Amino acid sequence: MHVLVLGGGVSGLSCGIRLLEAGHTVELWARELPPYTTSDVAAAVWYPYRASPQDRVTAWAKRTFDVLSALAKHPETGILVERGVELFTEAPPDPWWAPCVPSLRAATPEELLPGFTHGYSFEAPIIEMPIYLQFLLARFRELGGRLDLREVRTLDEAWRASPVVVNCTGLGARAVVGDDSLFPIRGEVLRVAPPPVRGFIFDESETRGISYVISRSKDCILGGTAEDGNPSLEPDKAKGAAILERCRRLLPAGARFQVLEHKVGLRPGRATVRLEAERVGQHRVIHNYGHGGAGVTLSWGCAEEVAALVIAGS
């Protein structure tokens, strides 16, 4: 079957790969491809952030955790599995995503930083997006997928090329399918080097904003922000300085590094992820968007459900 995938970020590429592996002929249209997509700005570490509903997200996240962990055995993917901590100033409930993470445990006193009384410690995949997205692109092409840089404004335009369309347009779905429930969740990060620590550190107790440190092989991402409804892609110097100040609390005293880059991305916010099949006359579309801050974290689980929906409707 010929399938047209819309969107060149991690969701679109993952769907394209699973569809090709299932024996379909796949064409992918995208306004932008790596390294110019929203996915390229992601830190990224496996963590189901700002995505609902919980039951479906847990299943998608668990499957993706397993796939990313397996891919980490291959250096060319840009994935590392590292232990990190999520820190709290008071006792938290057990995380709802605990079933996804076999290594989850309470943080030891040695793992707690000054000012924090509780925490989780767990191993999770850290994904170096510039490397990983190029790996996905290469895999898509290797399997015979076709890429076309073009912007789609309506599903009718896509259906002229294929009766089956997979909609992975992220925030673009506001225009493509008129989904006004989508909204940008603006995120700013700093890329620094050399990495001042190993693994990752999360702090959501900070009243001035979320803070995280995610170390990669040669650099480190410091974050971040989560501004609902702000569509600006212009870096804000004041917010960058605030990120730096908050993250220093999570780093060893006197840690030295250089800020290499200040980046902004717009996460596709929605009350719930939209993953469902829709039929319009003789045409079909499988929607897969609205992943919030968890696009990478849900990518393979969602891609496999998309592939199953394509087969189920054939």
Binding annotation for D-dopa: 212, 267, 293
Place of tokens 């989904």: 179
Mention every residue, 6+ apart, whose C-beta is less than 8 A from residue 16: 5, 26, 28, 140, 145, 166
φ/ψ of residue 92, rounded to 5: -95, 160
d(CA 15, CA 21): 10
What is the longest distance spanned by two Cα atoms in the chain?
Answer: 64
Query: Strands 200-203, 118-127: parallel, antiparallel or unpaired by DSSP?
Result: unpaired
User: What does the alpha-carbon distance between residue 221 and residue 215 come to, in Å, rounded to a whole number?
Assistant: 6
Residue 62: both structure tokens together = 């668990």
Annotated binding site for FAD: 38-39, 152, 169, 292-297
CA atoms within 13 A on the CB side of 260: 12
3-state secondary structure of 282: coil
Residues of each annotated binding site = 38-39, 152, 169, 212, 267, 292-297
CA distance 10 to 37: 9
Contacting residues for 108 by C-beta, under 8 A, at least 6 apart: 121
**67 token code pair:** 């796939």
Identify which of 150, 135, 64 has the alpha carbon closest to the alpha carbon of residue 101.
64
Q: Which pair of tokens denotes residue 273? A: 């992820």
Rounded Cα gap, residues 23 and 2, in angstroms? 10
Q: Which residues contact 88 (CB under 8 A, 6 or more apart)?
A: 116, 117, 118, 119, 204, 205
Q: Find all residues with CB under 8 Å of 109, minimum gap 6, and list them.
A: none
